[in-house]
Structure 1
């Protein structure tokens, strides 16, 4: 079975279906969006941007690409792929999946490899608000549909997806519920309380109390399953440590003194602590 680009796109200006037209996508109202030469589509209207270049910077994306391609988070990617593909063995048609906040596409590429091993077809779309992230993703794999866009207003038609992934991202549950089919699954990966604790203890004067996990499923969803993935990770070079820090929000949140301490490290062992949640899209009945 093959990996194909997802095509049920919606115009970010009026919500109408977008149709491919040569090297662009158009809606019936005449709004047109060009396909970049690298293969991605920018569906983030200027009026929806909060800055000139929202999302991760070019440097953050490059650091994440080096770190993830080195295989350090492969156990996380494998666990996410299992959660996404669970119960999909009987699907007679390709499974449609959105990675909401895809970064440079690592987790979608690993999902594609896992689906191939299971003989499953995929229709995939990776979306990120960062142009640099989407560009890096498109350069590494031409098969998915890569889109610059926002989770706050997904350029996807209602009820068109079987799965949504949100990996260390910013979930917008109302939008995820809108684009998922009834019975579709949202798979979330979030940092657990001990995630990268050893690094955080070095770069911060003190650690803030961790927020408890959500006790109830958000509107439109029911809780399907939760799991925790924990393992030690040893980084044996200053470059790997620098990439880990640079790809996280801690790089900007930590004081200069903390970043300097991290820069002096030759090796570091950290705890990877990831909370995986599967939420099922329910069909709400209005009384």
Structure 2
């Protein structure tokens, strides 16, 4: 999710179903039912497109972490404009201003080696980002939550069919068995958005996917040439998983 292509972000923003699902359907119910201060960690935050939506769900502290320093710098800039950076919130508290969103702490770090105190985090979100069961279990509180978003079955199907002779379907939940020792699946939500793309938008979309190097060059060029005369339609499909840390026996 590092340095998301600006054009594709604008296309997805026209239908904010993924951000809405993560923030409103998955995270907000958690923050509303817990009266204690909530510390949240957004892993692989990139430029912070989803982070900014999460910041408005009622949590207190939001640590936005990514291994890419340029991506985190962009997130920090956007957070500053929104008045959500940690030092801005501290300044507001001195003047008795009411904070309208979470305090955001940008953090450049590897998800495998988080510089956080054990069991100090109420929730973790991994939106199209790494899933590391041991690392997540270490920093999550005993009743902590894990929110994961992944491509769903049928994601970008028409594009994949145009690029490959044999299309392998997304195995969205293959990681669940790795999480089973630590987490219990509480629910899922499927979201989708239809995108009508110009040749330039389609080229941008391909650069965001593994298809940019997995598909044969002649297949990519043939698809882009076809779209020069007629727009291309495909569906982005995602699934959001809501898990809770299993109580130790």
Instruction: Report if TM-score (shorter chain) is over 0.5.
Output: yes
Offset of 1:94 from its aligned partner? Answer: 3.6
Partner of 2:113: 153
Is residue 2:181 matched to residue 1:245?
no
Query: 2:182: which partner in 1?
Result: 220
Unaligned runs of 5+ in 2: 86-103
- Tell me which of 107, 129, 142 is aligned to 1:182: 142
Alpha-carbon offset, residue 237 of structure 1? 2.6
SS in structure 2 of the partner of residue 206 of structure 1 = coil
Secondary structure of the residue aligned to 1:257 is: helix
Is contact 2:43-2:124 (8 Å) kept?
A: yes
TM-aligned CA distance change 1:147 to 1:212, over 3 Å: closer
CA contact (8 A) 2:64 2:105 kept: yes
Going from structure 1 to structure 2, the CA distance change for 1:249 and 1:72 (only over 3 Å counts) comes to farther
Equivalent position of 2:73 in the other structure = 135
Name the residue aligned to 2:62.
124
Shift in Å at residue 73 of structure 1?
5.1
Shift of 1:212: 6.0
> How many pairs align?
220
Provide the C-alpha distance between the structure 1 equivalents of 2:4 and 2:187, rounded to a whole number of angstroms: 33
Q: Does residue 271 of the first structure (1) align with residue 235 of the second (2)?
A: yes
1:107 Cα deviation from its structure 2 partner: 0.3
Q: What is the aligned counterpart of 1:79 among 21, 32, 35? A: 21
Q: What is the alpha-carbon root mean square deviation over aligned residues?
A: 2.2
Q: For residue 283 of structure 1, give the secondary structure of its aligned residue in structure 2.
A: coil
Structure 1 pair 263–137 and aligned structure 2 pair: CA distance change class (3 A): farther
Q: Distance in 1 between matches of 2:69 and 2:223?
A: 28
Provide the residue aligned with 1:28 in structure 2: none
Deviation at 1:147, TM superposition (A): 1.6
**Alpha-carbon distance in 2 for matches of 1:261, 1:168:** 28
- In the alignment, the residues of structure 2 paired with residue 201 and residue 269 of structure 1 have an alpha-carbon distance, to the nearest angstrom, of 12
TM-score (norm 1): 0.69
Q: Per-residue deviation at 1:156? A: 1.7
Matches within 5 A, 1:1-287: 56=2, 61-63=3-5, 65-70=6-11, 71-72=13-14, 74-81=16-23, 82-113=25-56, 115=57, 120-142=58-80, 143=85, 144-211=104-171, 213-214=173-174, 216=177, 217-231=179-193, 233-264=194-225, 265-266=227-228, 267-285=231-249
Q: Check the 8 A contact 1:93/1:121 in 2, yes or no.
A: no
Q: Matches of 1:178 and 1:73 in 2, distance apart?
A: 35
Task: Tell me the alpha carbon deviations over residues 4-29 of structure 1, each in whole angstroms, 9 at most, x when there is no partner.
Answer: xxxxxxxxxxxxxxxxxxxxxxxxxx
Partner secondary structure for residue 32 of structure 2: coil
Distance 1:235 1:132, change over 3 A: farther
Q: CA offset at residue 69 of structure 1?
A: 3.9
Counterparts of 1:73 and 1:156, CA distance in 2: 34
> Could you tell me how far apart the structure 2 residues matched to 1:254 and 1:199 are?
11
Q: 1:207 to 1:155 in 2, by over 3 A?
A: same
Q: Give yes or no for contact 2:75–2:106 (8 Å, CA) kept in 1.
A: yes
Decide whether aligned partners of structure 1 residues 261 and 98 sit closer, same or farther in structure 2, where only a CA change above 3 A counts: farther
